Structure 1
Amino acid sequence: MRVFNILLISILSSLLITGCKDGDKYYADIVRTDYGIPHIKANSWKNAGFGLGYAYAEDNFCVLMKAVVRANGQSVRFLGEEGSLADDIVFTYYNTDAVMQREGIESQPKHVRRLLRGYTAGLNRYLKDTGVENLAGGEEGCRDAEWVRELRVVDIVKVLHNKALRSSTQSLTPLIAGVEPPSSQSAQRVNPDAVRALSAISPQDIAANMGLPKDSQIGSNAYAIGANASQNNSGLLLGNPHFPWTGEDRFYMFHLDMGDKYNVMGAGLHGFPVVNVGFNNDIAWTHTVSTGSRFTLYELTLNPDNPFQYLYDDEYRDIEKVTVNVEMPGAGDGVVTRPYDLYLTHFGPVINLAGVDESLGGWPTPFGTLVVLKDANMMNFRTLSQWIEMGQANSMDAFKESLARLGLPWVNTIAASRGGDAFYGDISVIPNVSQQKLGSCVRGQLAMLLTEAAAPTLDGSDSECEWDSDEGAPRGVFGFESLPQLSTRDYVANANDSYWLSNPGQLLEGFSPLIGEERIAQALRTRQTFIQAQQRIAAADDLGAAGFNTGNMRTIMFDNRNLAAELVLDDLVAVCKAVTDWSLLTVNTAQAAQACDVLGQWDGFFNLESIGPHIFTEFWLRAEQLPDLWAVPFDAAAPLTTPNTLNTGTAGIAIVQALAAGIDALVAADIPMDRPWGQLQYSDRNGERIPIAGGRSSFMFSVTSSDLILGEGYTSIEDGNSYIQVVSWDDHCPDAYGNLTYSQSTDPASPHYADLTRLYSQNGWIDMPYCDEAIEAATISKKRVRE
C-alpha cells in the first residue's frame, strides 16, 4: 500500500508539472461570423475564458494592455502625456498586488477564478503567437511598445476594479492626490473672510469641476416591453448604451457558449471576460447609468491642537500618512521612483477641494475642517459573479434573484423575458443613507453646499452618521428590497433620469435621495423615450398596428427624431425671421439671414441628408443654459409634456443672442449654413469618411456627441450609441438584432476596423446568430486555439 501511495503521489506531481492540472492546459473553438463576431465554444470556464481572451486579443489586445498600464499606476512612465500622475498615485496604493490577489481572486468562487485564469492565458497565448513587433499599429496600437508584457490574472482584476470605480474614486483621483498637509502643528482657525466668500460659489460650477463623467460619456437608453405592449405576447428589449468611442470604456461583441452552464451573446466592456449587456435563450437585459450616488463625503472636525487628528465621537483619531512610490521616466531610458503621500482616515482618503473651487481648498478648509471620501465600490469585487449569474438566469424570477448579489457598480438594469415580463431596477451599489439620516447628518454651510452641488456630505465626527446596513446585503449599501424596482407586463424604460419615471402610469416614490430625485423635470431624452413608447402603444406614429415588434423598435432606434426641435423650432424660426437688423447681434449678417431660411426648411431630424442640424445644435448648446427658456414650467403631474413652449417673451432677446452666437461659432469654424448633416458629422477610418447620424444626448434619443472642429465639422466623435441590441422571442431561438457602432477591432489593418461603422451609417443591423444553425450559416472563419 505504501508503494502504491508513493506511485500515486508521483503521478499527481507529474501532472502538476506537465500542466494537465486545471488552470494549466486550455483549448477552445473560435467561430467568427459576419462582422467578426467571435463565438467561443468551450466545455469549461477556464477554456471559455481562454477562447474569449484569445479572440478579444486578436481585435483589441493593445487597448487592454494600455488599461493594464494605467491600473498598475504606470501611465506617466509608459504613456507620457496620455498618462495621469494623479491616477498613478492613487492606484499604486489601491491596486496593490496583495489586495487584488486576496480580495479580487482568492475570494472569488472557483469558476470565476478559472475563468480569469483562462482569460489571461488566452491573452498571453495571442501575444506569444503574434509577437510585440506584429501587434496593432495606429492611434490605439502598441506595436513594439516597451510596456507590452505577459499579463497576470491580477492585472485583469485591477482593470475590472478600476471600472467598478468609474463613477467614484477613478474620477476623483486629482482631489485625492492633490492634498497638501499643513506646514505646522499649530491650531487652525476658521477663516471668516473665506467663509463669507462661499455665498458666491455656484453649486453648478462645483458639480462641473468635480471630475465625474458627463452623462453623455456613460449614458444610455433602454426599453423593456412586456407581453401587454408587444405584438407577439413575448417580451422585447432595446439596449442602447452611450459610451466612449475610443479607449478602454468601449464594448466588444461576442458569444460565450458552454452549453447548459452558460450560453450568452451580447457585449462586454474591454477586459471583461463575460457579457455585460446581452441575451440568452430566455432573458435579455441592458443597463443605463443610474442617478444613484456611489460615494459620500464626510466633513471632519479637526483637533484644534493637532490638525492631523479628527474627532470621532468622544475621541480623536489619527490621520494616517501613506507614502507610495510611483515610477517615472528618468534620464535617457532610465526609470526613477518618486514618493507621494496620501492621507487616510477610517472613512477613506482626505481630498483637496481646491480642485473643485480654489476657495474651498487647503488643510484645513476655510471652516477649519477636512473633507474625506468614502467609496461604496472600493471593495466591490462581486461584479463578475453578478454578470455570470444574470446570464445564467432562465426566467425573470431567477434573473431578479441574481441581482440581489448587489455587484452592479453604477447602473440600472432593464430586462425582458421570453415569457413576457418586463423589469426595471436600480439594483446597484449605493451607500445606505436614508432620507432621515441625510436630513440629520448634513450639518454646516460647507456640507450643505457640497451636498447640493456634488455629493452627500455627512458629519464625520458622529458615529450615528455612518452608513447603515440592510440584512443580507453587503455592509453599508442598500439591500435589494430597499432599492427601486418595477415588474410589469406593460413596459418600462430609462434614459439616465431617476427611477421615479420608469413607467408614466406607475411612478416610483419614497426612496432615499442618494438613489435619485423624485418629482423633478425630466431631460428631453427621457421625455422623448416615453413619448415614443406611448405613441407606439397607441399606434400614433405611422408605424402600423399598435404595439412593439423587433421591426418597429429598430425603426424607432434610428429615427433620429429631435424632441427639442419639435418643441421650439416653429417659434425659433418665427423669432429668427422677425429680426430686422442682424448687425446689432453679429457681424455675420448674411449667414444669419441664411440660417433663418435653412431652419425654416429643416425637417427637424438629425438624418444624414438633413440640412440644419448644425445650426440648431449650436443654438441649443447655448439656449439650454437659459434659466427662463420655457414659458410653461414643469408640472410633476405631466412629466412627459412639461416644461414646454419657447419663452419668446422675457427670454426673447436671449434666445436670439444664443442663435447669433451659434451662427458665429459656425462661421468661425468655416462651416456653411447649408451643409447636410452627413457631411459634417462623420467618423474618419483610414481616410474614409463614414457619415454618422444622430445628435447630442441633451436633446434627442439617438445619441452622437462630437465637438465642432475648424474647417471640418463634428468629426471628433467622443461618445454616443455603442452596442445596440433589439431582442425578442418568436420560436426556439431568440429573435435578436445588434450593431456595434465603432466596429469590433481597433487595429487599422483589420477587416473589422470599420465594417460595422459603415453598417451603422446605413441604419443597418446584424441578425444576431445565436443558435447553431444560424452561426453555421453566417460563419466566416473557424479555429481551435490551444495552450
Structure 2
Amino acid sequence: MKIRKTPGRRPGYGRVFSLALMLAGSTVLTGCLHDDDDSSGSASASLDTNLFPADGQLEANIRRTTGGVPHITGANLASVAFGHGYAQAEDNLCLLAEAVVKARSERAKYFGPGVDDINIINDFSYKAQHILSGAETDYAALSQESKALVDGFSAGYNAYVNETDPADYPAECRNQPWVKAISPIDLLAHYRIVGQYASGALFATGAVFLAVPGEDPADAAPTPVIADAQMPQPDTVVQSARALASSRDSFQDMGLASNAWGIGKDMTEQGRGALLANPHFPYTGHRRLYQAHLTVPGYLNINGAGLLGTALPLINFNQNLTWSHTVSTSRRFTLYELTLKAGDNLTYIKDGEEKPITQETFQIEVNVGAPNPVVFERTFYFSEYGPMVSGNAITSGGLPKWGDAGTAYSYRDANANTGNLLDTWLGMSRASTLSEFQDVFRNCGTTLWVNSTYADDQGNAFYIDSSSVPNLSEKSIALINFKRSVSAAYAQLFDAGLTLLDGSESFDDWVEGECGGLVPYDQKPKLLRTDWVQNSNSSYWSTNPDQFLTGYSPMYGPENSEINPRTRLGITMLQNPTAAGMPGVTPPAGQDGKFSATDLINVIWNNRAWYAEQFLPELRERCGLIGATLVDGEDLSTACGVLDNWDGVYDKDSVGAHVFRVFIANYANSFDSDLTVPFNRDDPVNTPAEPSETGKGTASDVMLLALSQGVKALNSQGIALNATLGSVQYIRPSGDVPPGGTPVFQSVGIPWHGGDGNVDGAFNAIGVVTDQYAEDTRFPRIAPKVVPNTGRLSDGTVAGTEGWLIARGTSWHYGLEFTNNGPQAYGLVSYSQSSDSMSPFFLDQSQQFSDKQYRKLLFTEQEIEQNLITGGEQTINGSL
C-alpha cells in the first residue's frame, strides 16, 4: 500500500507538527505492514476486537502534552501499538533503524568492518545466536496479544518512514539506505538482543566467533566468497575477536543500575501504596527509555516508559498499581564443559553416550568502499545447549582451548527466546490487583534480567526477582556450592559471573519443570510488606533487613554479603524517614514520616551520598589536625576549607562535592585495609565502617593522602577547588553524523546534579561514559579520556569534555502515590524524549532536570486536554 504523505512538512521537528497540522488540529496518515508479513491469524473467526480491528483498518489518536509525551488512544491493541510505533519513529528514528540493522546482522553491510572489525564479529555472532532466524520461529508461535503489538508497532514505524522524505530524517540517518520499512520479525529480532543484554550479548564480541575445533586462528578466520583487494584481512579479524573477547573481566556487570522503592500503607500520607522509580540507564543509544501513555478503552490504560522499540512501556502505572525494575544480581546463562570423545573434537560424551557437535554456515556482506560488498562465510558450532564458545578467550587462558584436555565449552541462555516478552509486560499492565500481578509470574512470565518492585492502591509493597534464572537441581546447586568452597579457580570463575557446569552428566542440565528450564514462581525470592521493600542492585537478601530473604539458589545472587552504597543509603532513608542525613537537607518523608509522590521524587533529587555521610565528618576532623602541614607535597588548607563549608550533597550549586569525589575515589582503594569494623551480616547497612586511626591527622594519614592525590588531579586540570559542582559536571550530547562520521556537540553544556553511584555512593546516580559510540550502536559520540582514581574526571585531551561529562544515570524517574482520586505521579525523562537534535523535545526535560522542575505525569482526560501543546494532536490510519 502506498503511504499518503502529509503536506506541509519541512526539515527539523516542524516535519511532525507542520503548519497544516497546527491549523487543522489533526492530520490523517496511512500506513501498512511490510508486504511479506503474514498476520492472517488475526483475521480469523475468533478475532478479539480488543486486539485487532475487525476490518483490518488501524486508527490511533496521538495527543502530545508537555515534554513531548504522546498519549495514544485506539479502539484495539494493534491500533495503539501502531500509534506508539509512529510516535517513537518521530522522536528516535535513527536509533530504531540502527537497532534493526544490528538485529539483522547487517552492520558490516552498511557501515563497513568497523573499528577492530567489530561489525564483522558482531554480525557473525548474532547469526550464530539465531537472532533473526530465531525471531522468525518466535513470530509463528506468538500469542495474539503479542502479534497485535508487534504488527501494530511495525506498521506505525513504517508509516512514518514511508511518509517522510529521507532528506528530512535526522542528521544521523538522513538519506541513508538502511532506514527502511521493517517487519514484525525485525522487531522481534531486536527484542532477542535486548533480552540477551546480560547473557548472549556478552559473548557476541568474540567468544562465539573464536569457537572452532582446536581454536586454530586459520580455522576461525572468515572465508571470502567474493574477494576484493580492499577487503579486511581474515587473520586480523581473528586477532580483534580475541582481544575483544578477553577484555571483559566480569560477566555480571551490564553497566546498568537503578533504585526502586515500594512503599506500603503504613508509611504513606494517603494510607495507600507509593513507588519511587529511578532507573540509571545510558543517555545515548538503544537503552534510552521513552515515555508514552497507551489507552484502549475498557482494556488497557497505562502510562510509563520502555526501552526504544518495545511496543509497551516497561516501567509504568495504571489506575490501580505501579512498578519499577532494577537490574538483578541473578545469572541468566550457564557455561557447560563438554567431555570430548578421544580423537574427535566434534563429538562429546554425555551419560556415556556420544553426542554430535553440529555445524551451521553463515554469510554476511561487508562494505569495503567498492561498488559491491565483499561476502564472507564462516562455519559455527553448536551443542545441545547452544552455541559453542571459546573458554580460553573469555578467561584469558584460564580455561583450555577447544580440544586441549579433551574438553570444549558451550552455553545455555535463559533469555535466548523472548517470544513472551510482551505478554509478560501486557499482563502486568492489565493487572488490577496484587494477585493478578503475581499471576503473570506464576504463569512463568519473566522480566529477563531485572527485579520488579511494586505498589498498589490497597497499600501493598511487593518485591520479586522476576528475571530469567536457570532452574538447577538440588544436586547441581550443592555441587556448585561445594566447588566454590574447595576450588579457588572455580570460585574465581563464579565470582566473574561464569557458572561452569558439567556437560558430561545430565544432572547438571536445567530442570525443565513448568517453566521450560527456568525457576518457577514459588522458588523466586520475593517479599510482601505494608511498610516498604526496596532494591538498588544489591542482592535480594537485604530487600528489607527486618525480614532477610535466604535459602535461594546461588543463581539469584549472594546472601549474607556486603551491599552497595546506594542500597545502604536507601535503606537508611527508609529506616529513618524523618532524619535529614546532612544539615539543611529535607528529611526523606518530611516531618510526618509519611511519603507522598513529591516526597519520593525529591528523595531522588536530595542528592545525598552514602560516603559523604559516612566519612565527611571524619575527614573534616583530620583536616583540622593536619593544619598547614604538607601531605605528599600538597598544602591541603584550601581543600579542607572547602570541605568544611560543603553542604554534603551533590547539588549543582554545591561547592566541595567535586573535591570529595576525587578524595573518595582514591580512599576507596584502601577500604579493605583501612576500615576497622568488618562487614556484619546482621548489620549490612552500617558495616563495613570506621577508618583506622593509624597516623590520624599526620602526613601519613591514609585519608589525607587520598585527599592529596585528589587535589593534585584537580590542579592538573585547572579546576578550582571552590568551583560549584554544576560548573564542572554537565551533560552535552554529541553526534549529528551517521556511522563513520565525525561527531559534533549538539548543544552547550547543561549543569547536572547528582553523584556517581559507585564512587560517591550517591542515590541520584549518574556517571561518565568513555565509549566512543552511543550505547549499543555505531553512532559516534565525543567521549572523554579520564584520569584514574578520580570518578572519571576528564584528562583534558578531548576538547569540550573538561570536568565530568555525564552520559548515564538517572533517566526515566518518578514518584507516585495512590490517592482516593487515583494515581498521582511526578517525574521526568532526564535526557528528554527525542534523540533528534532538531526536535523541541531534544533537551527540554533535560533543562527541567537541571533545574529540579518535575512535571506531573498526566493520566486523566482533563489533565491531558489542559496540557496539549500547540498543534499536538493527530490521527493516523493504516491497515493490517
The alignment's TM-score, normalised by the length of structure 2, stands at 0.80
Shift in CA distance, 569/153, structure 1 to aligned 2, threshold 3 Å: same
Shift in CA distance, 234/208, structure 1 to aligned 2, threshold 3 Å: farther
Shift in CA distance, 96/573, structure 1 to aligned 2, threshold 3 Å: closer
Question: SS state of the match for residue 28, structure 1?
Answer: strand
1:47 aligns with 2:79: yes
Shift in CA distance, 176/619, structure 1 to aligned 2, threshold 3 Å: farther
Alpha-carbon displacement from aligned partner over 1:388-447 (angstroms, at most 9, x marks no partner): 010001111111112323221011001100111110000221011256423325767754
Query: Aligned partners of 2:595, 2:722: CA distance in 1, in Å?
Result: 36
Shift in CA distance, 620/370, structure 1 to aligned 2, threshold 3 Å: farther
Partner residue in 2 for 1:126: 160
Counterpart contact for 1:694–1:702, Cα < 8 Å: yes
Question: SS state of the match for residue 671, structure 1?
Answer: coil
- Give, as a single letter, the amino acid of the residue that structure 2 aligns with 1:129: E
Shift in CA distance, 207/219, structure 1 to aligned 2, threshold 3 Å: farther
Partner residue in 2 for 1:344: 382
Matched ranges for 1:268-307 at <5 A:
268-307=306-345
- 1:672 positional shift: 2.4
Partner residue in 1 for 2:877: 786
Partner residue in 1 for 2:501: 458
Partner residue in 1 for 2:278: 240
- 1:212 positional shift: 4.0
Counterpart contact for 1:87–1:170, Cα < 8 Å: no
- 1:352 positional shift: 1.9
Alpha-carbon displacement from aligned partner over 1:691-713 (angstroms, at most 9, x marks no partner): 11001111111111114224444
Determine which of 96, 112, 119 is the counterpart of 2:146: 112
Alpha-carbon displacement from aligned partner over 1:542-563 (angstroms, at most 9, x marks no partner): 4221211112222211000111
1:670 aligns with 2:718: yes
Larger mean CA deviation between 268-277 and 352-361 belongs to 352-361
Shift in CA distance, 232/324, structure 1 to aligned 2, threshold 3 Å: same
Shift in CA distance, 349/183, structure 1 to aligned 2, threshold 3 Å: closer
Gaps of 5+ in 1: 1-11, 185-205
- Give, as a single letter, the amino acid of the residue that structure 1 aligns with 2:183: R
Question: SS state of the match for residue 514, structure 1?
Answer: helix
Question: SS state of the match for residue 817, structure 2?
Answer: strand
Counterpart contact for 2:212–2:381, Cα < 8 Å: no
Determine which of 609, 612, 626 is the counterpart of 1:562: 609
Matched ranges for 1:50-199 at <5 A:
50-80=82-112, 81=114, 84-95=119-130, 97-103=132-138, 105-137=139-171, 141-173=172-204, 174-182=206-214
Question: SS state of the match for residue 197, structure 2?
Answer: coil
Question: SS state of the match for residue 332, structure 1?
Answer: coil
Shift in CA distance, 132/224, structure 1 to aligned 2, threshold 3 Å: same
Shift in CA distance, 419/319, structure 1 to aligned 2, threshold 3 Å: same
Shift in CA distance, 29/406, structure 1 to aligned 2, threshold 3 Å: same
- Give, as a single letter, the amino acid of the residue that structure 2 aligns with 1:763: K
1:770 aligns with 2:859: yes
Shift in CA distance, 419/172, structure 1 to aligned 2, threshold 3 Å: same
Shift in CA distance, 630/115, structure 1 to aligned 2, threshold 3 Å: same
Partner residue in 1 for 2:647: 603
Partner residue in 1 for 2:766: 704
- 1:35 positional shift: 0.9
Query: Aligned partners of 1:434, 1:584: CA distance in 2, in Å?
Result: 57
- 1:639 positional shift: 1.4
- 1:755 positional shift: 0.3
Matched ranges for 1:195-214 at <5 A:
209-210=248-249, 212=251, 214=253
Query: Aligned partners of 2:701, 2:131: CA distance in 1, in Å?
Result: 57
- 1:522 positional shift: 1.0
Larger mean CA deviation between 53-62 and 340-349 belongs to 340-349
Query: Aligned partners of 2:97, 2:264: CA distance in 1, in Å?
Result: 41
Larger mean CA deviation between 383-392 and 358-367 belongs to 358-367
Query: Aligned partners of 1:339, 1:635: CA distance in 2, in Å?
Result: 55
Matched ranges for 1:363-382 at <5 A:
363-364=401-402, 367-382=405-420
Counterpart contact for 1:537–1:548, Cα < 8 Å: no
Partner residue in 1 for 2:838: 749
Partner residue in 2 for 1:199: none
- 1:98 positional shift: 4.2
Partner residue in 2 for 1:433: 472
Query: Aligned partners of 1:79, 1:659: CA distance in 2, in Å?
Result: 46
Determine which of 368, 393, 418 is the counterpart of 2:457: 418
- 1:483 positional shift: 0.3
Counterpart contact for 1:670–1:710, Cα < 8 Å: no
- 1:579 positional shift: 5.3
How many residues are matched?
741
State the superposition RMSD in angstroms.
Answer: 2.6
Query: Aligned partners of 1:22, 1:330: CA distance in 2, in Å?
Result: 49
Larger mean CA deviation between 374-383 and 265-274 belongs to 374-383
Determine which of 729, 734, 738 is the counterpart of 2:827: 738
Partner residue in 2 for 1:687: 747
Query: Aligned partners of 2:643, 2:815: CA distance in 1, in Å?
Result: 33
- Give, as a single letter, the amino acid of the residue that structure 2 aligns with 1:673: L
- 1:490 positional shift: 1.3
- 1:322 positional shift: 2.5
1:636 aligns with 2:681: yes
Alpha-carbon displacement from aligned partner over 1:582-618 (angstroms, at most 9, x marks no partner): 87735xx35x543233223222111101122222222
1:468 aligns with 2:559: no
Query: Aligned partners of 1:154, 1:28: CA distance in 2, in Å?
Result: 22
Partner residue in 2 for 1:191: none
Counterpart contact for 1:172–1:211, Cα < 8 Å: no
Question: SS state of the match for residue 26, structure 1?
Answer: strand
Larger mean CA deviation between 166-175 and 268-277 belongs to 166-175
Shift in CA distance, 585/466, structure 1 to aligned 2, threshold 3 Å: same
1:29 aligns with 2:69: no
Query: Aligned partners of 1:522, 1:509: CA distance in 2, in Å?
Result: 15
Identity of aligned residues (%): 28
Determine which of 501, 514, 526 is the counterpart of 1:485: 526
Partner residue in 1 for 2:25: none
Larger mean CA deviation between 37-46 and 686-695 belongs to 686-695
Partner residue in 2 for 1:193: none
- 1:114 positional shift: 1.8
Counterpart contact for 2:628–2:637, Cα < 8 Å: no
Query: Aligned partners of 1:322, 1:294: CA distance in 2, in Å?
Result: 25
Alpha-carbon displacement from aligned partner over 1:271-324 (angstroms, at most 9, x marks no partner): 001010010000111110111100111122223322332221112323223322
Question: SS state of the match for residue 628, structure 1?
Answer: helix
Counterpart contact for 1:500–1:508, Cα < 8 Å: yes
Partner residue in 2 for 1:510: 551
Shift in CA distance, 86/576, structure 1 to aligned 2, threshold 3 Å: farther
Question: SS state of the match for residue 288, structure 1?
Answer: strand
- Give, as a single letter, the amino acid of the residue that structure 2 aligns with 1:749: M
Query: Aligned partners of 1:748, 1:508: CA distance in 2, in Å?
Result: 46
Query: Aligned partners of 1:653, 1:85: CA distance in 2, in Å?
Result: 52
The alignment's TM-score, normalised by the length of structure 1, stands at 0.89
Query: Aligned partners of 1:759, 1:511: CA distance in 2, in Å?
Result: 43
- 1:577 positional shift: 5.7
1:661 aligns with 2:699: no
Question: SS state of the match for residue 742, structure 1?
Answer: coil
- Give, as a single letter, the amino acid of the residue that structure 2 aligns with 1:383: L
Alpha-carbon displacement from aligned partner over 1:176-230 (angstroms, at most 9, x marks no partner): 112243279xxxxxxxxxxxxxxxxxxxxx9982464746x32100111111111
Query: Aligned partners of 1:569, 1:76: CA distance in 2, in Å?
Result: 51
Query: Aligned partners of 2:603, 2:203: CA distance in 1, in Å?
Result: 37
- 1:581 positional shift: 8.8
